[in-house]
Amino acid sequence: MTPTTETTVGIGGAAESTDMVLNIGPQHPSTHGVLRLRLVLDGERIVSAEPVIGYMHRGAEKLFEARDYRQIIMLANRHDWLSAFSNELGVVLAVERMLGMEVPERAVWTRTLLAELNRVLNHLMFLGSYPLELGGITPVFYAFREREVLQNVMEEVSGGRMHYMFNRVGGLKEDLPAGWSGRARAAVAAVRSRMDVYDDLVLGNEIFRGRTRGVGALTVQAVHAYGVSGPIARASGVDFDLRRDEPYLAYGELQDTLKVVTRQEGDCLARFECLLEQTHNALDLADACLDRLAGLAPGPINQRLPKVLKAPEGHTYAWTENPLGINGYYLVSKGEKTPYRLKLRSASYNNIQALTELLPGTLVADMVAILGSLFFVVGDIDK
């Protein structure tokens, strides 16, 4: 019997079901930041996804241990560069709690006002950039116009455009400039009058709704499992907001104005709607703070501190409802002028982990829609 030779002609990847591993990123810092996604694909469908983080890690928590309580404010406001004032706030609240310090009423209301203006600035960036990622270029121009109006009043009061460095242990750096409240009120009114751009131009766009409705739905169980917070968690029906549920600053007296926005769908559209409604509410809260400040008698804006500030030995935990979610600050002191340990729990770090739950089973074309709807800042992930 003559031996036969069997030859298999190459038929490409169809011969075996081999998954493809695709690296998305690391991207340039001018985008969301240096984030890498390691995707395993079966054709056009994502099988698994792993966020690879750490490209922007700067060791902030270790640097906290080598800086005194005045200097760490500078480090703390930089990890989420869109929420600098709110980042500072958590640190000074933790130190003030350790000291048992009472902050002047004028400082409390001014802090609340500036925190809400900072919230609007943060949200406007995502309200403009998210449609851009889906192909809608116009909203981002409006977003930067509105941001510029608010940036001007924030810069006037603090001297900084992004990293304000305006909080101090015991209050604020200095009092508000003469006539600033009127300019701030005009800025809030100007931004509010133009918010229909997002209500109509974005939410009223059929293509935007088609790309986001029913895409990337995050379940309540996943929210709790991954520690997701902020607008992303509330878009999945988790009705929790520290400003209402564990009030700090002046939020306890703003309950009539404060509105906790929730949705049940948990998809990309719901997350955008929550962010938009929360922006409207932040403008209302800013007006309420301006009204209250106008009725306050002149008084101090901060406490006099010793030349060398030392927190007593012990530990405490402070948390705040930052624009992107819950920020936690665990401070341990040995009675020195520097923290023994300051652990920072940032919102973006937990939120981005939900990608491992959201992306599998979806199409590659929907990946950008899902990724952008998580509203994260990479510096806030890596710290």
Among the residue ranges 30-44, 281-295, 366-380, the one predicted with the least confidence is 30-44
Query: pLDDT per residue over 227-270, tens digit each?
Result: 999 999 999 999 999 999 999 999 999 999 999 999 999 999 99
Average pLDDT, the chain: 89
Cα-Cα-Cα-Cα torsion 152, 154, 157, 161, nearest 10 degrees, comes to -80
> What is the distance between the alpha carbons of residues 361 and 40, in angstroms, rounded to a whole number?
11
Query: Above pLDDT 90, what percent of the chain?
Result: 67
| Dist CA 289 CA 118 (whole Å) | 14
Query: pLDDT digit string (tens) for 52-83?
Result: 888 878 888 899 999 999 899 988 888 888 89
| Run of H or E residues at 64 | helix 60-64
Closest-CA residue to 197 (of 73, 288, 280):
280
324: Cα separation from own chain's centroid? 2
Q: From CA 33, how far away is CA 59, in angstroms rounded? A: 17
E strand intervals along 93-169: 167-168
Q: Read off the pLDDT band of 15 (50, 70, 90).
A: very low
Q: Which residues pair with 342 in a beta bridge?
A: 331
Q: Tokens 């851009």 correspond to what residue?
A: 132
Q: Please tell me the pTM assigned to this model.
A: 0.91
Domains with residue ranges and CATH for the chain: 50-381 (1.10.645.10)
Burial degree of 86 (CB within 10 A; 0-12, 13-18, 19+):
buried
Burial class (CB in 10 A: 0-12, 13-18, 19+), 179: exposed
pLDDT for 28 equals: 61
Position 277 confidence tier, pLDDT thresholds 50, 70, 90: very high
Range of weakest confidence among 21-30, 67-76, 325-334: 21-30
Say if CB 103 and CB 96 are below 8 A apart.
yes
> Please, which residues have CB within 8 angstroms of residue 303's CB and are 6 or more apart in sequence?
101, 102, 103, 104, 169, 170, 171
- The C-alpha atoms of residue 219 and residue 100 are separated, in whole angstroms, by 40
Residue with tokens 């984030």: 35
**Whole-number pLDDT of residue 322:** 94
Within a 10 A sphere around the Cβ of 94, how many other Cβ atoms?
27
Residue 26's pLDDT is what?
Answer: 77
DSSP-assigned states of every residue in 239-266: ---HHHHS--TTGGG-TTT------SS-
State the Cα–Cα distance between residues 282 and 139, nearest whole angstrom.
Answer: 20
Q: What percent of the chain has pLDDT over 70?
A: 93
Distances (CA, A) of 2 to 6, 7, 174: 13, 16, 98
